[in-house]
Amino acid sequence: MKNSLTEPIVTAIQHIHEQQRSHPDAMGDLSWLLDGILTATKIIQSYVRRAGILDVIGSQGTTNVQGEIVQKLDIIANETILRCLGYRDIVGIMVSEEDDEPTIVKSPGSGGKYIVLFDPLDGSSNIDVNVSIGTIFSVLRCRPDLPDEKTGLAHCLQRGAEQVAAGYVVYGSSTVMAYTTGQGVHMATLDPSVGTYVLHAENLKMPARGKTYSCNEAYCDTFPEGVQKYLRWAKSEEAGGYGLRYIGSLVADFHRTMLKGGVFLYPPTSKNPQGKLRLLYEANPLAFMAEQAGGVATDFTGRLMDKTPTSLHERTPLLIGSTEEVERVMSFFD
C-alpha cells in the first residue's frame, strides 16, 4: 500500500536532470532549455487561468502568418516564451506559429546550439469559452554542417526524426506538462500553490487500442474516401461501440489519446488540401511523443517523422494514436 507521506516528491526539473545523467557527455544545456520552457508555461497558465478578468480575452485585431485571427493570449504566450528562452545562450533559433520568420537568438556559427519550435497557445479560439488549450514545443539541434546563413531557415527544415526533445502543456482542469528527450514520455502536474511541476507519470505507454476516434466530422464529405469508409465502419454495429470525442484543441484531443488510446485524425479537406495542422511545431512534436509512448503517427502516406519539411509553416495531414487504431484506419485505404 503506497503511503503518500513516504512516496518521493520528484519535480519535473529534477526528472529532466535525472534523464540527463544517462548522457555522460551532456553539459546540461538541454535541461536548461527545458527549464526555460517550464518557466514560460507557468507564466502563460497564470494568464490563461485569469483570462476573463485580465482583459486578455478576445482577438488582438490582427492575423498571423497562417491567416488566423490572433488572440490577445496568443501574443502574451508567444512573447513569454521568447523572453524566457531568448537569453539562455544555448538557444540559437526560435520558430513560432505567430512569427513569419525564425528569430535568430545566437547564430549557429557563433555557438547557437538548439532550435526551439513552438505553437505558443494551440486552440486559442477556445479561450473565450474556457475550453482546454495548450502549448506545444519541439527541439532540434542546429546543424554544424550548414553554412551560417541569415535566416537560419535551413537549420529549421529538419525531419521530425531529428528532434532531440518535444512536449506539450495542456491548460485544462489542471496544468499538465508532458515531455520526451527520447527516453520515454513523462508527465508532471503543476502544483499552483508552490509553482512547481510535480512528476506523476514516468515512461507512459499509450494503449495499443481504444474505441475512440477524434476528428471534425463536419468535413466528412471532403475527407479522402479511405477515411470516409473508416468512419462508416466505426459507427457500424460491426465495430462494436466506438465513440467520438472532439474538443477542437489539438493538445487536449492528443492528451486524451495518449492516456486512453484511440485515434486522432485531421485528414486533408477541400478547405485544407494539405491538412490544417503544422508539421514543424504541432505534428512533429506530437508524433515524437506518440512514438516514444508506443503509438504511431502518419500523414496517411508514411511515417510522419520521416517527412522532409520544405517551408517553415507548412501544414500536414495527421493520423496519430494507438497502433491498432491507426492500422485500422489505414486498412480502409486501397
| 74 CB-side CA count, 13 A | 24
Output the CA torsion 27→33→38→40 (10° steps): 150
**Amino acid found at 40:** A
286 forms part of the interface with ligand P6P (CB under 6 A): no
By the 8 A CB rule, do 286 and 168 touch? yes
Q: Counting contacts by CB under 6 A, is residue 135 touching ligand P6P?
A: no
Using the rule CB under 6 A, is 97 a contact of ligand P6P?
no
250: contact with ligand P6P by CB under 6 A: yes
Please give the C-alpha separations between residue 274 and each of 42, 129, 146, 224, 303, in angstroms, as whole numbers. 33, 28, 29, 12, 16
Gap between the Cα atoms of 289 and 15, Å rounded: 17
- Shortest distance, position 125 Cβ to ligand P6P, whole Å: 5
For residue 276, the minimal CB distance to ligand P6P (Å) is 6
Least distance to ligand P6P, CB of residue 222, Å: 12
* 316 makes contact with ligand P6P (CB under 6 A): no
Residue 112 or 295 with smaller CB distance to ligand P6P: 295
**For residue 216, what are the contacts with CB-CB under 8 A and spacing of at least 6?**
246, 248, 266
**What is the per-residue binding string for ligand P6P in 212-231, x denoting contact by CB under 6 A?**
----x---------------
Q: Which of 36, 92, 120, 123 binds ligand P6P (CB under 6 A)?
A: 123
Query: Does the footprint of ligand P6P cover residue 125 (CB under 6 A)?
Result: yes
Task: Give the 3-state secondary structure of residue 118.
Answer: strand
Whether the CB-CB separation of 257 and 286 falls below 8 Å is answered with: no
Check binding of 276 to ligand P6P (CB under 6 A): yes
Region of residue 203 (phi > 0: left; psi between -120 and 50: alpha; otherwise: beta)? left
- CB of 268 vs ligand P6P, minimal distance in Å: 12
By CB under 6 A, is residue 248 in contact with ligand P6P?
yes
Question: Which part of the chain contacts ligand P6P (CB under 6 A), choosing from 19-27, 120-128, 204-212, 289-297?
Answer: 120-128
Q: Is 122 in the site for ligand P6P (CB under 6 A)?
A: yes
What number of other Cβ atoms are within 10 A of residue 10's Cβ? 16
Residue closer to ligand P6P by CB (options 123, 152) is 123
Q: What is the dihedral of CA 288, 254, 314, 300, to 10 degrees?
A: 80
User: Shortest Cβ distance from residue 285 to ligand P6P (Å)?
Assistant: 13
Q: Where on the chain is the footprint of ligand P6P (CB under 6 A)?
A: 122-123, 125, 216, 248-250, 276
